[in-house]
Every structure is written in C-alpha cells, then in structure tokens.
Amino acid sequence: MPAAKKQKLVVIGNGIAGISTVEQILKLSGAFDITVIGQEPHPNYNRIMLSYVLEGSKTLDDIVLNDWKWYEDNGITLHTGTSAQRIDEAAKVVMTDNGMAVPYDHVIIATGSKPFILPVPGSDKEGVIGFRNIADCTRMLQAAKTYRKAAVIGGGLLGLEAAKGLVSLGMDVTVVHLMNDLMESQLDSVAAQMLQHELEQQGIRFLLGKQTVEVLGDTRVTGLRFKDGDELDADLVVMAVGIRANTEVAQASGIEVRRGIVVDDHLRTSMKDVYAVGECCEHRGVCYGLVAPLFEQGQVLAKRLCGVDTPPYEGSIVSTKLKVSGVDVFSAGEFIEQPEHDVVLAKDDWKKTYKKILLRDGMIVGAILFGDVSESANLQSLIRKKAQMTDDIYHSIMGGGCAGKGADAATRIAQMPDDEIVCGCNGVTKKAIVDAITVQGMTTVDEIKACTGATRSCGGCKPVVEQILQSVLGDGFTTAAKQGICPCTTLDRDTIVAEIRAKGLTTTKEVMHVLDWSNPEGCSKCRPALNYYLTMLNPLTHREERESRFVNERMNANIQKDGTYTVVPRMYGGVTTPEALKKIADVSLKYNVKVVKVTGGQRLDLVGVKKEDLPKVWEELDMPSGYAYAKSLRTVKTCVGSQFCRFGTQDSMGMGAYLERKFERLDFPAKFKMAVNGCPRNCAEACTKDIGIVGNDGGWEIFVGGNGGTKARLADSFCKVKTDEELIEICAALMQYYRETGNYLERTSEWVERLGLEAIREAVLHNTEQRKELVERIELALSQLLDPWKKVLEDDKLRDVLYRDVQPVVAT
C-alpha cells in the first residue's frame, strides 16, 4: 500500500517562533513536507543572544540554534536570503521576491517584528540603526572601530543590552530614555533606580526624561537634539524604542491585520489554512514582544496541525529577565501596586537585592526580583497558576523560615506541570528534560544541554534543570553528576583545596594518597593543578615539585613542533634599551636562532633554540625570563603614556613596569596578562587583558576578565581609583582573590563569568578588611616565591641572572 502523500507546510520566517513550532511538529508527526523561507542569509539563530555577539563574548556560530545540517537531516527545504511577498489563496502558493511560487497546504507566518525608528528629522542618516539582527550587530561592531560616542535611544530591555555591548566595545555610551525610570514596563521605581546605579558602575551614562526631536548631522549623525533644547554628541545612534509586528506579507495577502496579524485561540488567521505565531501576531488584542509566549503559541499550533488534542491558547503571563554582566533582574505579571494589592517586600542595600510580590485576594499575581533571581522560575509558575500565598511559599522566596520549613525544591518540581517551559530562551519544557533523563539516560546538565538545548543560552534556567535532575535521579544524582578535576578523582577543586587545608597535606603524592586517587601516580591534568594549589595555600612551606610542571615550565622555554624552543626575555612594560637589543642580536647570531619575532606582548621571541643550548643562551642574554611558558604574569603591555604622548594623562610605562616587576614571579591558575593605558584611547588594548588599566584625568579605571584568545571576551569595568597606591592595592587583591578561587587553567574571563562580577567586587572592593587580608597574603607569597623555578637549572650563575631581585620604582 503506497505511503500517504505528505502535506506541504510552508513556514514564512526562519526565526525562533517559526522553527520552534517546526521542532514541535517534527516530534509529533512526519506527515509534512516542510519548506522554510528566511529573509536573512543564516540558519536559525537565537536573537536573545545578540547582545553577547555585540559585546564580543560570542560569535554567530555560538548562537546558531539549528545549523544547516539540521535542516538537511530533517528533510526541510530552506530558502535563505529570500522574502515572501504574498500568499495566493486561490492558487495555494506563496510568492517570493525571487519569483518562486511555493505550493502549500498550510502556511505558518512567523515573520517576527521590526525595530521602531523614531519618525524625527534625520532618522535616516548614516549611523542610525536598530538592534534586531546579526546585520545590526555587524554594523555596530564596525562603527565601534572608528567612532567613540554612542547614544542608545530607549531604556528598555533591548536598549540596555545594546548599551552594555557598546560599552564593552570601548565606546562612550549614553542611554536616552523618554521616561524617568528604566524598563518602566517591567520594573517599579525602586528596582529601576537600583538597575540604573549598577549600570552606571559599568560605565553607561543615562539621560532620563528626554524626548528626542532631531538627529543632527549632514550625511552622518553627529548628535541628538531634545525637546528641551539640550543636545548630545553622538557618532552612532541605536534606536531601541520598541518593535512593530512585521505584517507586510499578511497585508499584501488581504489577511486581517491590526497591531499585528489577528489570530484566534488556535492561532488561525482570517485566511483559511494560514496561521501566525510569535511577535508578528495579535491575540486577543495583545502583541507579545517576549520569547516565552511564542513557544507557548508554537506548542498549541504544532499539536493542532498534527491532530493532537490540545487546549486552546488563551494568552501568556509575560515575564522579563535581564542579565547584563552581573546585573540580574526578573519581572513577571503585575508589578505596580494598586489599592487592591497586598505587597510582600524585602530590600537589602548591603547585598543589593530587592524582592517584591503582589497579591490580590491572597493570590500571587506579580513579582519583581533584583540581584537574587534564584526563585524566578518558581515565582513565574506560581503567578501562572494564580497560587495562594502560604507561609511555606513566603519563607521559600523571601527567606527567614525555620529549618526544614518551606516548600523545598523537590516539592516544587513535583508540582510543576509537564508542559511548563523551563528554558525560556529555547522553549524546553519540563517533560522534555524528564524524557532526556528517563528515556535517553542523561545524567548531567551538560548532557541535557546537548540533548534539549536547555541552559545553552543565558543559563538562567540551570538551577531548575539541576533540580529536575535531582528529583528524577534521586539518590543517584550526586554520583551520576559528580565530576572531579580529572579522571583520577571524583573530587572537585573546592573539595580538594578544603581537604589540603584541613589535613595539612604538603605534596602532590600525599594529596593523591590521602584523598584516594584512583591512579596513584596522577595524570598530566591533576599533577600540575595539585602543585599549584599546594603552592598557593602554603607559600612558606611548599617545596617546588619540578616533576609536576608542564614541559615548557620545566625547560623555561616553549617547545616548538620541530623540537626546538623559543626563548623570551623579559621587557618590563614593553620597554628595552639599545644595549639589550644588541645583546639579543649577538646571542641570536651565535646560536643560529631561526627567527626573532616581535610578540603581541611587546617583547622579542627567539625562535628555534636547541634544547642543549638553552642554559648558555639564558646565561649570555643576562636578562630575566619573560615567563612566556608559565601559568603566571606573562606581560604588562603599555602605551607611551604621559611621558611622551600628547594625549596621555597618566604614566602608563612607569606603572606598567612597576606592576610587571612586582608580580612577575607569582603563580596563577592560568596565564595572566595585563595592560596599562595612559588615556582612554586604549592603545595598549586593556579591554582584552586579565587586568586592564586605563588612565584618565582623575586617576585610573580598572577592568577585569578580558581575553583575546580562542574564547574572546571583553573585560568588565571593575572600579575607578584616584591614586597609584589604590590601583596597586586593588590589583594585588584582585590577583590574590583569583589565585585563591580560580580553578586550575581557568582564565579570568571564565572566572568572572562563573563567580559573577558583583561577587568579586564584594570580596575585593566593598569588604575592606578582606581586601587588606588578600594583599597581605599575596605579599607573603611574593616574599617566599621570588624564584619559583630557581632549582630548575643547576648553574648558580645562570640562576642569579634569571631571577635577580629588581627593586620596582614607579616613574614620576
């Protein structure tokens, strides 16, 4: 008997709404021949993550949700760079801009929305853009290379994310907002002011209560003029004042359109066999501009098309979650108190947290969380169910309950409906996660991420995913999910460090024996890590274990693919002398060095030194090692600063040389790079260094967590200081806190993401007593470890040459 002919389904729009609906259809039925028409030249990607692309922490590849192969594997015909022009109901075809006539049995319109551009004079000038897709990100990234001043019009979710991205690119950013509070559609005044304060700390400026009436400039924007007559200079203007449903194809086809494409509770439009989902549609008079409703709409539509019984779509309880470099904000349901509301409130200025729950007749109808959003998923569920407030719920969310009291995580997970969306960024339900665990045998968050997509975007749902894992696996959760620092142990970094402290362990072999390593000799991954932790914990007593070092550290040089080595002498702050250059040239000629390479760290790399020549090369250079091979301070890159540059406001060369001399001998969890700039022009590229320092007229600004490597990340603004002494003290405390809390081989870029910028600020900036103790511990380590590798080489004279103690002096 021949197979039933598949129905032709055409999806207009290749974004999250359309493709998530297709994903649901594929799970339910194979009865469709699917064609997708997408206007952009890319496969389906996550627009929620555009701000990460803008700031440089992710690329387009990182945010792709369904790659080209996914379409091929699922038999989906994908037309990219193509726009649907209209739907011909009589001929049952979709007409495109390139002349195609795509036949259909059913059509889903998922064209999303377009950024709203203010209709003011000059809004069409070069340098005025929206923020809605990859092309917008690319334009902003290009502009940031040339221009300095940016204005973002709009203080909502999208505007703030755009502003933070532009600040991360090194631009001076001002957010212009018509209202007096940021995110006034999601936050009350208290939360809005807390958010503004935190973002100001990160370098964003704000002009609130300002109405833009004109974009200034000739062909390219030069600024903005406001209704009150004030003006603002700007080389780039980002319009983030709102969105409008993209209804063009529906209007051209004669489909009913008001604010959006009008749909009923089954997502049907006014044209037979044509449906709409996502930001382009209007349901019961509401157009949703957030991601969760589109997944809920897609689930209903997919079941209807596949003949699966499902309740109709009756609207969504909207919620908002903002995560901008350590600032966590959540809002759901009603948030501005009215006379009929009872208000549950807690504000902690020390921890910078704010919790507000609104009740109507005892029912939870809305909430705001700032700083601590760990209960956001629970609150959203309670609001959706219109749950009655109880003592258990109160203590669970607001804290302060007695031990053992309150609705614990297991109870909440058990009560969570199967179809509740856990991962709002990717539309993953509780049932999808449970099925991944029970049917496919997933036992870790990483496995669930790979299988379902949950946690792969913002990561805010990770705690709930872990709770579901624990609920389903029960006693097997801890064992199944336990991952040690290497295959030799199930112990993680924190446990190992705690055990070393508690038991007074002093050698790697002792650690491995006492803590029951499965491999008594350890491996190349754990031995260097243990050696570092022991050195960090016991600077007074730990004996250097040469055998636990990587080969490059044992040889004081980097091995190359041909078996030769590279030698990198130290050049403090990138500064050297003619005499030192002549010495490098003489040694290079004598020992047949293949190449002398100028490195990105402002020093010279002698490439091609034979292993047997290494001791003599170092002896004749008579220069300190640049530690280009070590998990320590590699370089401090500098510009010429105020000593020579006409723009320089601070002595960057003097400060850079001081910092490099002071900290050059210290072990870190991973390689460590710094940069010091004499002015905000950032010629030494502080934005991609572990610690970057930028001078200004009033002192210095410190940045942390930058990385220019394979996992590129722009540094976060940490704080501003007025004096050299403050700068040195805070840098020292930052370094020691990283040394004490970083995982081995974890760069500061990953460390900042893991701990959170605010937690690091709390430890290093706000807690002055702890900062003092951190500085004392790093000074103790420096005093004991002037030469971490002094026993590596046997030659006494060479040892003195390599590790002589140079007294640091800041140039004045």
Question: Which residue type occupies 481?
Answer: A
Kindly indicate the confidence band of residue 565, based on its pLDDT and cuts at 50, 70 and 90. confident
Kindly indicate the confidence band of residue 473, based on its pLDDT and cuts at 50, 70 and 90. confident
Across the range 66-76, mean pLDDT stands at: 92
Region 630-812: CATH code: 3.30.413.10
Query: In this predicted structure, which of 61-70, 185-194, 263-272, 780-789 has the lowest mean pLDDT?
Result: 780-789
Beta partners for residue 421, in sequence order: 429
Across the range 408-413, mean pLDDT stands at: 68
Residue 799 scores a pLDDT above 50: no
Residue 345 scores a pLDDT above 50: yes
- Residue 560 Cα distances to 540, 557, 564, 589, 672, angstroms: 35, 10, 5, 19, 21
Question: What integer pLDDT is reported at residue 46 of this predicted model?
Answer: 86
Looking at CATH, the fold of the domain delimited by 408-477 is given as: Arc Repressor Mutant, subunit A (1.10.10)
The residue among 513 and 112 whose pLDDT is bigger is 112
Across the range 658-665, mean pLDDT stands at: 87
Question: What integer pLDDT is reported at residue 554 of this predicted model?
Answer: 61
The residue among 504 and 93 whose pLDDT is bigger is 93
DSSP state for residue 762 in the 8-state scheme = I
**Element (DSSP H or E) covering residue 721:** strand 716-721
Residue 75 scores a pLDDT above 80: yes
If one counts every other C-beta atom within 10 angstroms of the C-beta of residue 516, the result is 11
Question: What integer pLDDT is reported at residue 417 of this predicted model?
Answer: 78
> 225: closest CA among 217, 235, 214?
214
> 357: closest CA among 383, 339, 384?
383
- Residue 261 Cα distances to 246, 295, 318, 760, angstroms: 9, 17, 19, 47
DSSP state for residue 548 in the 8-state scheme = G
Kindly indicate the confidence band of residue 188, based on its pLDDT and cuts at 50, 70 and 90. very high
Question: What integer pLDDT is reported at residue 216 of this predicted model?
Answer: 96
Across the range 775-779, mean pLDDT stands at: 92
- Exposure b/e, 15-51, CB count within 10 A at least 16 = b: bbbbbbbbbbbbebbeebbbbbbbbeebbbbbbbbbb
Give the CA-trace dihedral at 613, 616, 618, 620, to 10 degrees.
-130
Question: Which residue type occupies 511?
Answer: V
Q: Is the CB of residue 602 less than 8 Å from the CB of residue 596? A: no
Phi, psi of 789 (to 5 degrees): -120, 30
**Mean of pLDDT over the chain:** 85
Residue 404 scores a pLDDT above 50: no
Question: What integer pLDDT is reported at residue 792 of this predicted model?
Answer: 33
Q: What percent of the chain has pLDDT over 90?
A: 42
Give the separation between CA 262 and CA 282, rounded to whole angstroms: 5
pLDDT digits (tens, 9 = 90+) for 121-138: 999 999 999 998 999 999
- Exposure b/e, 796-812, CB count within 10 A at least 16 = b: eebbebbbeeeeeebee
Name every residue whose Cβ is closer than 8 Å to that of residue 360 and which is 6 or more positions away in sequence: 334, 340, 341, 342
Give the separation between CA 230 and CA 223, rounded to whole angstroms: 11
Q: Is the CB of residue 599 less than 8 Å from the CB of residue 606? A: no
DSSP 220-231: BEEEEEETTS-E
Beta partners for residue 388, in sequence order: 363
If one counts every other C-beta atom within 10 angstroms of the C-beta of residue 165, the result is 30
Kindly indicate the confidence band of residue 440, based on its pLDDT and cuts at 50, 70 and 90. confident
Question: What integer pLDDT is reported at residue 397 of this predicted model?
Answer: 87
> 435: closest CA among 416, 420, 452?
452
Across the range 580-597, mean pLDDT stands at: 88
Residue 197 scores a pLDDT above 70: yes
C-alpha angle 565-569-570 in degrees, rounded to nearest 5: 140
Tell me the CB-side half-sphere exposure of residue 62, using CA atoms within 13 A: 16
Give the separation between CA 810 and CA 224, rounded to whole angstroms: 43
Question: What integer pLDDT is reported at residue 305 of this predicted model?
Answer: 94
Most confidently modeled range among 47-51, 252-256, 498-502 = 252-256
Give the separation between CA 437 and CA 474, rounded to whole angstroms: 12
Phi, psi of 626 (to 5 degrees): -85, 0
Residue 618 scores a pLDDT above 50: yes
pLDDT digits (tens, 9 = 90+) for 691-716: 999 998 789 999 999 998 767 788 99
Which pair of structure tokens corresponds to residue 496? 């190992």
Question: What integer pLDDT is reported at residue 382 of this predicted model?
Answer: 87
Question: What integer pLDDT is reported at residue 52 of this predicted model?
Answer: 78
Residue 398 burial (C-beta neighbours within 10 Å; 0-12, 13-18, 19+): middle
> 652: closest CA among 677, 673, 633, 623?
677
Tell me the CB-side half-sphere exposure of residue 419, using CA atoms within 13 A: 12
Residue 3 scores a pLDDT above 90: no
Question: So where are the chain's domains?
Answer: 7-112+245-305, 117-241, 408-477, 493-548, 630-812
Q: Considering the domain 7-112+245-305, what is its CATH architecture? A: 3-Layer(bba) Sandwich (3.50)
Cα of first residue to Cα of last residue in the chain, in angstroms, is 91
Q: What percent of the chain has pLDDT over 70?
A: 90
The residue among 420 and 389 whose pLDDT is bigger is 389
Question: Which residue type occupies 412?
Answer: R
**Element (DSSP H or E) covering residue 749:** helix 748-755
Please indicate whether the domains covering 408-477 and 630-812 agree at the CATH topology level: no
Question: What integer pLDDT is reported at residue 176 of this predicted model?
Answer: 97
Beta partners for residue 221, in sequence order: 217
DSSP 16-42: HHHHHHHHHHHHH-S-EEEEEE-SSSS
The residue among 318 and 193 whose pLDDT is bigger is 193
Question: What integer pLDDT is reported at residue 55 of this predicted model?
Answer: 75
Question: What integer pLDDT is reported at residue 1 of this predicted model?
Answer: 46
Does the structural domain 117-241 have CATH classification 3.50.50.60? yes
